[in-house]
Amino acid sequence: MSQKDKLIARFRKKPPPTDFHWNEVVTLLAGFGFQLHEPKGGSSHKYFVGTVGGEERTIDVTKPHPNLVMKHFQMKNLANALEALGLL
């Protein structure tokens, strides 16, 4: 099992892990071909852009703060977005 597969399995675990970090989200989405884009102005709202099925797609994610641990609703929203794109 590759590291990408292990990260996907950890992400999909039920119930979701309570210690899934922002860096793991960036790595997970990079594994699907998405690149992180950060708007100017220091906003915590980030978006990932990638090509799925020949079309450019965007996934919006709020970077958690002050610590970098993802919250349950953020994990659920990200999972729903990836499922809607057919990636999970």
| H or E element in which residue 69 lies | none
For the domain spanning 3-85, the CATH number is 3.30.920.30
In 3D space, the residue among 72, 76, 26, 65 whose CA is nearest the CA of residue 49 turns out to be 26
- How high is the pLDDT of residue 41? 79
- Which sign does the torsion angle of CA 65, 83, 60, 22 carry? positive
* pTM passes above 0.95: no
62 versus 16: the higher-pLDDT residue is 62
On whether the CB atoms of residues 60 and 45 are closer than 8 A, the answer is yes
On whether the CB atoms of residues 16 and 75 are closer than 8 A, the answer is yes
Query: How do residues 26-84 score in pLDDT, each as one tens digit?
Result: 999 999 999 999 888 777 889 999 998 889 999 999 999 889 999 999 999 999 999 99
Average pLDDT over every residue of 19-30: 94
